[in-house]
Structure 1
Amino acid sequence: MKFVKELQRSIEKHSDHNVLCINNVFYTYNDFAVEISKIRAAIVSTVEDEEKLIGLVTNDDLQTYAGILALWLEGKAYVPVNPSTPIERNIQVFESTETKYVLDSSNISIYTDHTVIATKTLVDTKINLEVKDFSGDQLAYILFTSGTTGKPKGVPITFNNVDALVNAIDAEPEFDLVPSDRCLQMFELTFDFSVVTYLFPLLAGACIYTIPKNTIKYFYIFKLIKEQKLTVLTMVPSIINYLRPYFPEINAPDVRYCSFGGGALHSDIAKEWSDCLPNCKIFNYYGPTEFTVYSGFYPYHKETHQKANNGIIAIGVPQKDTLYLVVDDKNQEVPIGVTGELCLAGPQITPGYWKNEERNAISFFNREENGVKVRYYKTGDLCIKDEDGDFLYAGRADFQVKIRGYRVELAEIEFHAKVKSPKKVNMVALDIPNNLGNAELGLAIEGESFDTEEIFNYMRTKMPDYMIPGHTRFVKEFPHSINGKINRKELKTYFDIN
């Protein structure tokens, strides 16, 4: 919880600096402190002390960000839900966490079965940023990712986990934010990368620039870089694929740092992007939600650090206090140069999936090292450790894919697609590369064609829009591999989306 006290100090110290730019409106750290205090007072007067998991509707406004800080100062966790995601799925999240209270800045809240604190209508109160005394083992947030059974998978993260992340980033001499920085925050607050894009600017007293919900994201980023002269960019690689046609127009000497994560960064486009940012240090970060956002990085440079595997930039080395281990299917370490599954250990590791012992048994294991029991998380990512100690990304070991930076279980899409199918047929969800190099979702259906409207209408009530396949193909008979499994690679050739 050390980082929460650092946040308090930063907000107080930088009261006259801008903290957020939301839809071209600037707010100061003092404005932020006022909103935090109002929401905190409402939490104290409304929520019982033992209630630790509080819902947060993730609107793009000052009150939503202030709500996170208000909860943290009280030693409580936020459980974020996206207002554009089907309400049934969001209710499922709240039921899983037994959340009774919801912070909601919407004009009218749809969470009528919960006690809602309407954060836009609160009365002024005295500024109170004092940190309550609480244990670092308590939860700071729970994020829900795609799950194979049709139910989202909860990943709880503690205050100690976040502290360890802050310590690790602080230990990196190459990365140092300052109060004059102008930082991009392009992520939905239900996505783990959002944590680093609001947390580190706040700790530095810098300004955060968000992306309005109903805009073309990549074009708005282009505009911010050009007009607001952003200095710090944190992005998923797919964004620069969309920006590629504009590269000749982008010359951004103000950008000091550009961090990538949440997907594979390809070496060809990394070099082109680097040419647009003449004074920038580029970092290719790696890390799953289960390990508190970042676990390590590779310092890409178009001339001196270009290490790649199959055209994908290396993910580098683990950061402070983090251990990397590449294992075979028996969880035994493989030799240098051999492909295996990357496993992570260290103080950033989640306590385990929320109320999901079956998944925990699959995803975590203990290993004795130097007489000490070390707990590892199996990432599902295939990697190779090279002779220099760098780690190279080699693909996925399962059927998870990255869509717009979000980790998606293809099995969940297939699960929901089959529920309303008028015919009992094979359905396979696939990630299909488009001509920009980004992945789009396709649904292959075996047999003669039929009307799929009911299937897609149903899926839209169960999953966020980024999980709805944009392409459908009927295939008379699915191709199979020599061992009888559906040949997903060949199935992809039926989709021509360029």
Structure 2
Amino acid sequence: MEFVKRLQESIEKHSDHNVLCINGTFYTYKHFAVEISKIRSAIVDTIEDSEKLIGLVTNDDLQTYASIVALWLEGKAYVPVNPEVPFERNAKVFELTETKYVIDSSESSVYDDYQVIPSKELSNTEINLVPKEFSGDQLAYILFTSGTTGLPKGVPITFDNVQALVGAIDAEPTFNLEPSDRCLQMFELTFDFSVVTYLFPLLSGSCMYTIPKVAIKYFYIFKLINEEKLTVLTMVPSIINYLRPYFGEINAPDIRYCSFGGGALHSDIAKEWSDCLPNCKIFNYYGPTEFTVYSGFYPYHKETHTKAHNGIIAIGTPQKDTLYLVVNESNEEVGIGETGELCLGGPQITPGYWKNEERNAQSFFVREENGKSIRYYKTGDLCLKDDEGDFLYVGRADFQVKIRGYRVELAEIEFHAKSRSDKKVNMVALDITNSLGNAELGLAIESEEFDTEYIFDHMKNVMPSYMIPMHIRFIKEFPHSINGKIDRKELKKHFDIH
């Protein structure tokens, strides 16, 4: 597998470079190679070759990152679980994957019912980074996201999927990491964005800077930008909402690349953020977990590339070997400028949800194109393609609600509310069920209370009455998921309209 071989070569070549900065402590690629080899030796001694899915407790330490590479060198997949998540949920993940072995760098492991490899207590061994021979259709990892039935939903990704991602990013001439780069790694390893924020620095001999689990994320990032002079940032857009009060203090000429994903990037804050990074290329990436992190991007520039819909920056064009298809409810392609659901095809597509045939039947379909059968994934994202071939994000299909029989896009309400507000604050439109079981609209505002009459006057001028929120709540700080996305489900609990 080419990218695994490249990992070996990069680790060997950059042995005197720093690979990780964890809570102020630096580790070199030589340290990394030693830990990989110790863990790999324990894997070989402990785990049968037939066991391919290995649990990994995602602590913020050298051994956890080394475990991923050690497993890959052996052609095995990691099944990550966050130690801060309830044990019962993590045990359910291991039950679903029939995991018997867990690699755990914790001081004491809670996984007594599994065979644990305590990765911080292993004896030294010879450095061995030569990958085994294995097939690309074997799994590289399985990530579990929340499922609608209350059971976590597994997304398996193969080595071939990851190789296709690496090939697509390599083919992009505007993005090229260097060994001297200092890269932000802000993501929990159970979140798919972490794959690009550890894999590409490792392939390039760059250094990653992680966020301690106890730290306030946005404040620690501010500190790293100022003190460590980071050069590459990969973030969810919500982080810069929290950094906004500090924009006046941020002048970061060292930053070369800043990539966003995992949420809608709004044009107003993108422009302000761009002013803080005078020498930076900004990319708005798009892609779901089911398509191996990234599927395409838009090269945002505050003067030359500012395409947006409802104030949300475009998602641009698909990357190498990826196909975008916008369809109606019958999976038929819609015309230019028409809104439909975005579907993705190509070599990065997951083999399918883990042991979930019902969900697979809903989320994937095959379409004949030019004599070939192309398998597509239905993203649940509403998009449209413009005359120039760029794709514009309209909103989530599940954020499109029926109010009094009318179809309403929540992102449009948010856009008009923000466009007139003189306060730079988060606003989220929500559909709320009243005591009669009917859907009504609410607007959550992340702020101390202020007069919103002029905002609602504007909305009444530009939108029909059924799109005007009937309920408003001021919330000091929005709840977020562990991945940094606004937790709409929790927000709804602030609206008691029974």
Q: State the TM-score bracket (shorter-chain normalisation).
A: 0.7 to 0.9
Aligned twin of 2:389: 389
For residues 439 and 108 of structure 2, the distance between their equivalents in structure 1, rounded to whole angstroms, comes to 39
Aligned twin of 2:356: 356
Aligned twin of 2:19: 19
Q: Which residue of 435, 446, 449 maps to 1:435?
A: 446
5 Å-filtered alignment, 1:72-471, equals 72-398=72-398, 433-435=444-446, 469=490
Change (3 A) 1:356 1:432: farther
**What is the Cα-based RMSD across aligned positions, in Å?**
2.4
For residues 185 and 72 of structure 2, the distance between their equivalents in structure 1, rounded to whole angstroms, comes to 20
For residues 245 and 486 of structure 2, the distance between their equivalents in structure 1, rounded to whole angstroms, comes to 25
Residues 85, 465 of structure 1: 8 Å contact kept:
no
Q: CA deviation at 1:53?
A: 0.1
* Counterpart code for 2:122: L
For residues 430 and 26 of structure 1, the distance between their equivalents in structure 2, rounded to whole angstroms, comes to 50
* SS of match in other structure, 1:160: helix
Report the TM-score, using the length of structure 2 for normalisation.
0.84
Residues 11, 202 of structure 1: 8 Å contact kept:
yes
Residues 259, 282 of structure 1: 8 Å contact kept:
yes
Counterpart check, 1:53 vs 2:53 = yes
Gaps (5+ residues) in structure 1? 403-409, 415-423, 437-459, 478-498
For residues 221 and 476 of structure 1, the distance between their equivalents in structure 2, rounded to whole angstroms, comes to 38
Aligned twin of 1:455: none
Residues 444, 491 of structure 2: 8 Å contact kept:
no
For residues 42 and 378 of structure 2, the distance between their equivalents in structure 1, rounded to whole angstroms, comes to 40
For residues 234 and 216 of structure 1, the distance between their equivalents in structure 2, rounded to whole angstroms, comes to 17
* SS of match in other structure, 1:49: coil
Output one character per residue of 1:376-411: Cα deviation in whole Å (capped at 9) or x when no partner: 000000000000000000001125999xxxxxxx99
* Counterpart code for 1:84: E
* Counterpart code for 1:306: T
* SS of match in other structure, 1:274: helix
For residues 195 and 189 of structure 1, the distance between their equivalents in structure 2, rounded to whole angstroms, comes to 8
Residues 63, 120 of structure 1: 8 Å contact kept:
yes
For residues 231 and 486 of structure 2, the distance between their equivalents in structure 1, rounded to whole angstroms, comes to 31
Change (3 A) 1:427 1:332: closer
For residues 119 and 441 of structure 2, the distance between their equivalents in structure 1, rounded to whole angstroms, comes to 41
For residues 143 and 443 of structure 2, the distance between their equivalents in structure 1, rounded to whole angstroms, comes to 26
Change (3 A) 1:466 1:82: farther
* Counterpart code for 1:469: E
Change (3 A) 1:309 1:425: closer
Q: CA deviation at 1:176?
A: 0.2
Change (3 A) 1:183 1:474: closer
For residues 438 and 31 of structure 2, the distance between their equivalents in structure 1, rounded to whole angstroms, comes to 51
* SS of match in other structure, 1:218: helix
Gaps (5+ residues) in structure 2? 401-409, 412-429, 448-480
For residues 335 and 465 of structure 1, the distance between their equivalents in structure 2, rounded to whole angstroms, comes to 32
Q: Which residue of 447, 472, 478 maps to 2:493?
A: 472
For residues 338 and 357 of structure 1, the distance between their equivalents in structure 2, rounded to whole angstroms, comes to 31
For residues 131 and 428 of structure 1, the distance between their equivalents in structure 2, rounded to whole angstroms, comes to 55
Output one character per residue of 1:155-205: Cα deviation in whole Å (capped at 9) or x when no partner: 000000000000000000000000000000000000000000000000000
For residues 350 and 494 of structure 2, the distance between their equivalents in structure 1, rounded to whole angstroms, comes to 39
* SS of match in other structure, 1:149: coil
Output one character per residue of 1:228-265: Cα deviation in whole Å (capped at 9) or x when no partner: 00000000000000000000000000000000000000
* SS of match in other structure, 1:398: helix
For residues 251 and 473 of structure 1, the distance between their equivalents in structure 2, rounded to whole angstroms, comes to 37
Aligned twin of 1:483: none
Q: CA deviation at 1:434?
A: 3.5
For residues 7 and 245 of structure 2, the distance between their equivalents in structure 1, rounded to whole angstroms, comes to 39
* SS of match in other structure, 1:79: strand
Q: CA deviation at 1:366?
A: 0.3
For residues 294 and 399 of structure 1, the distance between their equivalents in structure 2, rounded to whole angstroms, comes to 22
* SS of match in other structure, 1:212: coil
* SS of match in other structure, 1:352: coil
For residues 3 and 90 of structure 1, the distance between their equivalents in structure 2, rounded to whole angstroms, comes to 29
Q: CA deviation at 1:472?
A: 3.0
* Counterpart code for 2:398: D
Residues 168, 320 of structure 2: 8 Å contact kept:
yes
Q: CA deviation at 1:278?
A: 0.1
Q: CA deviation at 1:465?
A: 12
Residues 144, 155 of structure 1: 8 Å contact kept:
yes
Residues 136, 160 of structure 2: 8 Å contact kept:
yes
* Counterpart code for 2:203: L
For residues 276 and 155 of structure 1, the distance between their equivalents in structure 2, rounded to whole angstroms, comes to 37
For residues 375 and 475 of structure 1, the distance between their equivalents in structure 2, rounded to whole angstroms, comes to 43
Output one character per residue of 1:192-228: Cα deviation in whole Å (capped at 9) or x when no partner: 0000000000000000000000010000000000000
Q: CA deviation at 1:476?
A: 5.0
